[in-house]
Chains A and B, each alone.
Chain A
């Protein structure tokens, strides 16, 4: 395994060995007798960015974590992978089930073309090598939601291998430094989903709904190139964006269209990799990073206390916020893989190898799919940076927040203001308000047109910056009024009358001769005081820069 050993974790996070309340249990079972410092603080893993090292490393009391992911994404298609029943999220139980899905005898799998195209497109977007020949296998295990007793998957020869996924983490105090990372993709394979079990503990039974059984899944296996929860979460988010841009999966974790299992181990740098555990049931974007970090901490603690890590499967308990061993796992699973006898190998072609006179419905041309690939998120971000001159981290935020990019583009369409201004307003003010009230972009009370109008007013210098903020607040609260209405209601217009302003400046200077004297003596801060006084006199309806200009003109004359 070529996982880099000195992979330091996400910057700005500290691998604190033990929680405060677990104090005294921290025994010093130092593994291979060496410089035991005895101080808890030294057993932390420095997670500094590779770019800047802050504190010097403390020798052997460091841990490196290794995280690999297996991501299952439900393919966005009308019908299932091997049968013609519908794929739909909410439907009456067992209403979207064909005889094949219920594994009734005498039924056979028939491969869905759309699912193959989805797999190829995803493979191409992730820089994978597409296997022109791939095979289907059966993976056997018993569970009530798997009626056939096996799952059809691609274990031996999957459809795509050896790709890469690039993602960016934001580091630094204000998360303004962008570090680009890559995680290798081991393979992408097509497989069937299982049905859904609803556990009824009260009556000691499980209710089975097979609507989901047989739906096509893309399993994307990421190599263990990540070293902490944040990296994993960011990589998953990027994969989500790519899948959504391609249209191959809606990748909505809340609806179970994207499921993540993590393989986690820890080791000391320089030593071989540790025993890994598999954490399943990571189905929430919010808890993904937390769960992985918890497991890493747990393993470090366990090892530091002289224990050992079992190669087991654990589940994340959202309520307790910790990983727990999964019951129902008796020893290592033996899946008894066999080739799927009912399916010949899947052959794909490119423009060079396409057989002449072939039925276009029956062949898949990789080159054609490559040409038809839609714009990927990384390209969209690059375009934003080029077109609007925004910083990379801004483009990251714009794409990360659902609906924000569209909002931004709609504002840009209707406003004359500078892109930088728009970016700043959307990312700081607008997003800030959303986050404060925990709203999605779609639930925003302020429409793109309203914000565009407000920015136009600001651009025309009809109102000051401070006034604009007030108008925005009012827009957020009231919703119905337009910015122009609010400005006139609250009398927030900037003073346009130059003469009146000049008179005010003059008057203020006459009223405060000491300040003027201070200024003439060369005290630079005196001008600010003057500006403040004039502003007060104008009831904050004058632009400070204009005031400053006017004052300076009058002083020099």
Chain B
């Protein structure tokens, strides 16, 4: 799961990488995905490439990922440094690639009802069911603070 998250950091355009990059906000390339990036850029320590504790905590809450220890954080820092090499490419005046599908046609489906009516099947996936409803806890359960944290994974 960690490996997958790591790949996502690399692949995700602008938003994911720039969060921890040394140079905050290259001009003109800020896409809409830069909302989180803009905020992150201020937080990460620029020069050393180290990722601050608050950032790690924030990430854990956002993605429900358990870093599990300093090795994981170090791995993330190395991954970010690796991805930073992208900055060596001059992309002035080049339209960002948002999707490798951008040349494909978006298929339009006609407005007919062809699916559904499988409540029984779907409910089998749920640990708890009450009268054909899925059962969930009463609200989002807040993660404990970083100090008090036990290995807590939510798959």
Residues of A near B118 (CB, < 8 A) are: 97-99
Spell out B's residues near A (CB within 8 Å): 12-13, 15-16, 31-33, 35-36, 39, 58, 61-64, 98-99, 101-119, 122-123, 125, 130-140, 142
Query: Do B132 and A93 touch across chains, with their CB atoms under 8 A apart?
Result: yes
| Choice from A93, A110, A135, A197 contacting B109 with Cβ under 8 Å | A110
User: Which residue of the partner chain B has the closest CB to A205?
Assistant: B135
Spell out A's residues near B (CB within 8 Å): 77-79, 83-86, 92-100, 102, 104, 110-116, 135, 137, 140, 142-144, 155-157, 197-201, 204-210, 327-328, 330, 334-347, 361-362, 364
Query: Do A93 and B119 touch across chains, with their CB atoms under 8 A apart?
Result: yes
Query: Do B133 and A209 touch across chains, with their CB atoms under 8 A apart?
Result: yes
Query: Do A337 and B102 touch across chains, with their CB atoms under 8 A apart?
Result: no
| Choice from A113, A208, A336 contacting B111 with Cβ under 8 Å | A113
Query: Do B108 and A362 touch across chains, with their CB atoms under 8 A apart?
Result: yes
Query: Do B136 and A205 touch across chains, with their CB atoms under 8 A apart?
Result: yes
Residues of B near A114 (CB, < 8 A) are: 110-111
> Which residue among B31, B133, B135 has the maximum number of chain A CB atoms within 10 Å of its CB?
B133
User: Which residue of the partner chain A has the closest CB to B33?
Assistant: A337
Query: Do A95 and B138 touch across chains, with their CB atoms under 8 A apart?
Result: no
User: Which residue of the partner chain A has the closest CB to B96?
Assistant: A339
Query: Do B36 and A344 touch across chains, with their CB atoms under 8 A apart?
Result: no
Listed by A's residue number, 5 A-B pairs whose Cβ atoms lie within 8 Å are: A84-B116, A205-B137, A208-B134, A328-B139, A344-B104
Residues of B near A94 (CB, < 8 A) are: 119, 122-123, 132-134
Residues of B near A95 (CB, < 8 A) are: 116-117, 119, 132
Residues of A near B117 (CB, < 8 A) are: 95-96
Query: Do B112 and A79 touch across chains, with their CB atoms under 8 A apart?
Result: yes
| Choice from B16, B99, B105 contacting A362 with Cβ under 8 Å | B105
Residues of A near B12 (CB, < 8 A) are: 338
Query: Do B113 and A78 touch across chains, with their CB atoms under 8 A apart?
Result: yes
Residues of B near A142 (CB, < 8 A) are: 64, 140
Complex: A95 Cα to B58 Cα, angstroms: 37
Complex: A343 Cα to B102 Cα, angstroms: 9
Residues of A near B136 (CB, < 8 A) are: 144, 197, 205-208
Complex: A115 Cα to B31 Cα, angstroms: 26
Residues of B near A340 (CB, < 8 A) are: 99
Complex: A112 Cα to B112 Cα, angstroms: 9
Query: Do A143 and B140 touch across chains, with their CB atoms under 8 A apart?
Result: yes
Residues of A near B122 (CB, < 8 A) are: 94, 97, 99, 102, 210
Query: Do A337 and B32 touch across chains, with their CB atoms under 8 A apart?
Result: yes
Query: Do A328 and B140 touch across chains, with their CB atoms under 8 A apart?
Result: yes
Majority secondary structure of chain B interface residues (helix, strand, loop or mixed): loop
> Which residue among B58, B108, B125 has the maximum number of chain A CB atoms within 10 Å of its CB?
B108
Query: Do A208 and B133 touch across chains, with their CB atoms under 8 A apart?
Result: yes
Query: Do A364 and B108 touch across chains, with their CB atoms under 8 A apart?
Result: yes
Residues of A near B13 (CB, < 8 A) are: 338-339
| Choice from B98, B108, B115 contacting A116 with Cβ under 8 Å | B108
Residues of B near A344 (CB, < 8 A) are: 99, 101-106
Nearest Cβ in chain B — how far from A337, in angstroms? 5
Nearest Cβ in chain A — how far from B43, in angstroms? 11
Query: Do A336 and B36 touch across chains, with their CB atoms under 8 A apart?
Result: yes
Number of A-B contacts (CB under 8 A): 175
Majority secondary structure of chain A interface residues (helix, strand, loop or mixed): loop
User: Which residue of the partner chain A has the closest CB to B39?
Assistant: A334
Nearest Cβ in chain B — how far from A69, in angstroms? 21
Complex: A345 Cα to B107 Cα, angstroms: 10
Query: Do A84 and B107 touch across chains, with their CB atoms under 8 A apart?
Result: no
> Which residue among B13, B111, B114 has the maximum number of chain A CB atoms within 10 Å of its CB?
B111
Residues of A near B134 (CB, < 8 A) are: 94, 144, 207-210
Query: Do B135 and A208 touch across chains, with their CB atoms under 8 A apart?
Result: yes
Nearest Cβ in chain A — how far from B125, in angstroms? 8
Complex: A70 Cα to B35 Cα, angstroms: 19
Nearest Cβ in chain B — how far from A46, in angstroms? 39
6 nearest CB pairs, A to B: A156-B32, A144-B136, A114-B111, A207-B133, A85-B116, A98-B115
Q: A110-B107, A346-B106 are in contact. Are A201 and B138 (CB under 8 A)?
A: yes
Nearest Cβ in chain B — how far from A204, in angstroms? 5
Query: Do B139 and A206 touch across chains, with their CB atoms under 8 A apart?
Result: yes
Complex: A198 Cα to B111 Cα, angstroms: 29
Q: A84-B109, A206-B138, A337-B33 are in contact. Are A96 and B132 (CB under 8 A)?
A: no
Residues of B near A343 (CB, < 8 A) are: 99, 101, 106
Query: Do A347 and B64 touch across chains, with their CB atoms under 8 A apart?
Result: no
Complex: A116 Cα to B106 Cα, angstroms: 12
Residues of A near B36 (CB, < 8 A) are: 334-337
Residues of B near A328 (CB, < 8 A) are: 139-140
User: Which residue of the partner chain A has the closest CB to B133?
Assistant: A207
User: Which residue of the partner chain B has the closest CB to A209?
Assistant: B133
Residues of B near A77 (CB, < 8 A) are: 111
Residues of B near A209 (CB, < 8 A) are: 133-134
Query: Do A135 and B98 touch across chains, with their CB atoms under 8 A apart?
Result: yes
Nearest Cβ in chain B — how far from A367, in angstroms? 17
User: Which residue of the partner chain B has the closest CB to A93?
Assistant: B132
Complex: A83 Cα to B98 Cα, angstroms: 23
Residues of A near B31 (CB, < 8 A) are: 156
> Which residue among A95, A137, A199, A339 has the maximum number of chain B CB atoms within 10 Å of its CB?
A339
Complex: A35 Cα to B67 Cα, angstroms: 58
Residues of B near A84 (CB, < 8 A) are: 109, 112-116
Given A156-B31, A341-B101: 10 more A-B contacts, CB < 8 Å: A94-B133, A95-B117, A97-B119, A112-B111, A135-B99, A144-B134, A208-B135, A208-B136, A335-B35, A346-B106
| Choice from A86, A111, A201, A204 contacting B106 with Cβ under 8 Å | A111
Query: Do A78 and B139 touch across chains, with their CB atoms under 8 A apart?
Result: no
User: Which residue of the partner chain B has the closest CB to A135?
Assistant: B98
> Which residue among A92, A199, A338, A364 has the maximum number of chain B CB atoms within 10 Å of its CB?
A338
Residues of A near B109 (CB, < 8 A) are: 79, 84, 110-113
User: Which residue of the partner chain B has the closest CB to A118?
Assistant: B111
Complex: A157 Cα to B31 Cα, angstroms: 10
Query: Do B110 and A361 touch across chains, with their CB atoms under 8 A apart?
Result: yes
Complex: A218 Cα to B14 Cα, angstroms: 27
User: Which residue of the partner chain B has the closest CB to A154?
Assistant: B32
Complex: A155 Cα to B58 Cα, angstroms: 23
Complex: A556 Cα to B5 Cα, angstroms: 104
> Which residue among A135, A200, A344 has the maximum number of chain B CB atoms within 10 Å of its CB?
A344
Query: Do B113 and A85 touch across chains, with their CB atoms under 8 A apart?
Result: yes
Complex: A116 Cα to B107 Cα, angstroms: 12
